[in-house]
Chain A
């Protein structure tokens, strides 16, 4: 893992045009080049170059690929994964041929679906009859027993089925049972009449008629249900039989899209192709070797160090171990750090877990979070295609860490599902909250508040130190010394803390009256005031724009006032903001105490149920609150000290990563 963002190099390469396709494939297979569009090159260089329109429309490739994906989805077949793509197999896409194949498959599926619809409608008719029998709604049914005197029974059966009805011969007799809906009686009557239907007066048979026809109805219903399901399976089978073909088409389309995407960054002279892009320094040799091999050595490769380029143009790549992925996500959600600055992931991890643990300290509840996280992660691992639920992949991974943190802090504070099963390794949090802790390191809520304030000071100073490291790396020495987040800001914050703690130590009566305080603050404020002028002077010396002196004075005064305000109120509010850590922790302990008392009021199962329910409530609600508050403290109190978020993310074009097309 790099403590800083990965060092980058800018590649500029020229290859012969006849080898450019091979180079494209090689670069795609490597997938480490974040291309720079030709229009971002030097205008003089641009004049000698031209871009070429693609021979195939990328949107046509995309549309066709979406069609293939739609058919695969209809057959409940997964879309091929990016790692199945093999650049060696890329061919010129035969769009017309693909279209014919996809159209033919689509048509055969539609025809099956039409049959399935007919089958469904037949099923619905039978279901209606069946439901009325089961719900004893005989008033909607028209059940008859009789004989035919004209025509063929098969013809009448067919016509009856046209009304959604059924006709069944009674075994061993000439009689038939007809079951239709009473609402259709005005059409069924003339029909039966046409076939010379004569009602039977066999009372015994009449009694059995419903049972007999119901048996047939159940059979027909089951048959129709099976038929409809069979068609659904047939649809899947038809798509499955085309799977190899569809996968091949999909892969070729995807590869062509990616190749086309890479080519869109290329510029051309008559015989050569030029391209440029950013590569992590540790991958540079690999890229150079791949280009040389693909171009058979007929290439010119030039590397430019990132230090000679404007920092804001260099894409930022960060490497963190896979295990830190949830924290990397927290950083990414906020923004991208500047190139060459500290990679905040590990610091976020330590800060986030400490904050969470302090707010949600319990071994038992932490264990629950850990188990939920492990089970969720396992479930996603065994079902890689499962869409993210309320507990997404990232949240389940995060829960594992949060659970562990909660357990560690729980052991320190001696809380096991709110019960003091083992002695606290540090101090008993609940006892301190309740105010009956004796002889412990911390005896009351003020002690807890003091701990979280100190914790906040550590976090803020860590942020400041990281900022100073970043400024040194950026060679921004004026900012390092005289900015509100620079050494001067740190010094003023330190003086503020000295005064504050002194005030507390005096029993909230007097501030410390050391003689050095006033001169140091005065000099610091003067330096802060001078910063605007120094900055302007340095800028002019470097050839920057000159302004009227009145503007410079006004700007500097305004900047000074804002900085003073931010230093005095910002640092104070940021520090006090950490009291929420104590607040949440105290609320957690109080809630557990309340549930314990409630459960002790009831005997047996009731008490246990309240205890379990209380724990569940606390885990869900407090866990969520602690997670959100930790995030907030990281984003606002910690990041605001050192994280400018001005970086551009590194997005190479590869088989599995194509986000650079959005740039």
Chain B
């Protein structure tokens, strides 16, 4: 017999709310931005929940090593939340952890690609790869050491990614690069996650479906703006990148946008159709007949920033919804991921010597 929502989420609700409360009070991001150098930024992390990053920096002086620690923390976070849940809710949280596995898989394939296809030695770079089991027993070491595509496929073992990777040959990758494969892996994760939603209890299913419907739409809008407008991708290729769910993918406006000549595509109109308020939110520089590179970059950044803000608002709203559903855990994951991504971006910005205003502009 399934437990009632209060028994399932009572404890995790209190725990995550306390953590979210601490996150909200935290001045880490602001203090990191104000730090004058990487050394000074790291000191901000010393007395924070991210002190392990500072320890890694003390030992190695290596920013990528800090990112690795951040990744370990992220995985630990998912596992911790899953450990407080049980049954289908815990399984679903593991589905979410699958995104990190997919990203790790993409990183491994990129390393392999760099080494074998492009002939650039990866040297120490494999050291930054997470090699423990995340969800499936993938032999990460064997992957980066594979001397051929077939060997790499063997390293995947019985993981569900094998089928997708098998659709590609070494020659395909040599010719077309990794973009298509990586998009498929992302799509696969979404598919897997959406089917995971169907196994949840009714309340959880409703909440998670609502969140991910918006999430999928925002992701598709981002794809349409980034690849369809900024990278000027041709229609048929663009269509394959869309996640086949949600309002955006199914709409006629999207189809018209895809079929339109690249110079006639208007991402602002499309975004306002599904997530109105882009121009009101940030004054948008209208694209004129002269397509300057700088303007495009800025406009693309604005679009991406706008869509990210919409996601942020979505998860914030979830915090005030029914406390005894999976929504709180989803919001917590999002806020945590957002904070760690910002920390990563700021530390990188400091490493490359960018000033506070520039980094602030980039992270939004």
Contacts and interface: CB of A to CB of B under 8 A. Distances in A.
B60 A67 contact: no
Contacts of A66: 31, 34, 40
A117 B35 contact: no
A71 to B, nearest CB: 7
Given A69-B43, A71-B40, A113-B38, A120 B145 contact: no
B59 interface: yes
A122 interface: yes
Contact of A70 (B44, B112, B121): B44
Contacts, number: 106
B146 interface: yes
A116 interface: yes
Contacts of A67: 36, 40
A503 B124 CA distance: 84
Interface in A87-117: 102-103, 106-107, 109-110, 112-117
Given A117-B61, A117-B62, A183-B115, A74 B124 contact: no
A124 B127 contact: yes
Interface string B120-145: 01111011000000000000010011
Interface in B300-316: none
Contact of B58 (A107, A137, A184, A232): A232
A110 B144 contact: no
Contact of B36 (A106, A120, A124, A184): A106
A121 B62 contact: yes
Contacts of A63: 34
Name the prevailing secondary structure of the B interface residues: helix
B255 interface: no
A277 interface: no
Interface string A164-190: 100000000000000001111111000
B63 interface: yes
B60 A186 contact: no
A137 B139 CA distance: 13
A156 B239 CA distance: 50
B40 A128 contact: no
Given A67-B36, A106-B39, A162 B121 contact: yes
Interface residues of B, number: 36
A128 B115 CA distance: 15
Contacts of A106: 36-37, 39-40
A319 interface: no
Interface in B35-77: 35-40, 42-44, 46-47, 57-63, 65
A220 interface: no
Nearest to B65: A120
Contact count band on A: 35 or more
A140 B143 CA distance: 11
Nearest to A137: B141
Interface in A148-206: 162-164, 181-187
A228 B59 CA distance: 7
Interface centre among B59, B116, B123, B144 (most CB of A within 10 A): B123
B146 A183 contact: yes
Given A113-B39, A163-B121, A182 B147 contact: yes
Contact of A124 (B40, B58, B61, B124): B124
B124 A116 contact: no
Interface centre among B36, B44, B141 (most CB of A within 10 A): B36
A127 B122 CA distance: 14
B119 interface: yes
Contact of B43 (A73, A127, A140): A73
Nearest to A231: B61
A183 B60 contact: no
Contacts of A186: 116, 119
A576 B39 CA distance: 59
B43 A74 contact: yes
B40 to A, nearest CB: 4
Given A121-B124, A182-B145, A183-B144, A74 B39 contact: yes
B156 to A, nearest CB: 17
A183 B127 contact: no
B126 A70 contact: no
16 contacts: A63-B34, A66-B40, A107-B37, A113-B57, A114-B61, A115-B61, A117-B62, A120-B62, A121-B62, A125-B123, A125-B127, A128-B126, A164-B124, A183-B115, A228-B60, A235-B58
Interface of A: 63, 66-67, 69-71, 73-74, 76, 102-103, 106-107, 109-110, 112-117, 119-122, 124-125, 127-128, 137, 139-140, 162-164, 181-187, 228, 231-232, 235, 387
Given A114-B61, A116-B60, A117-B62, 14 more contacts: A66-B40, A67-B36, A70-B42, A103-B36, A113-B61, A116-B62, A119-B61, A120-B62, A125-B123, A140-B141, A164-B124, A181-B145, A183-B147, A186-B116
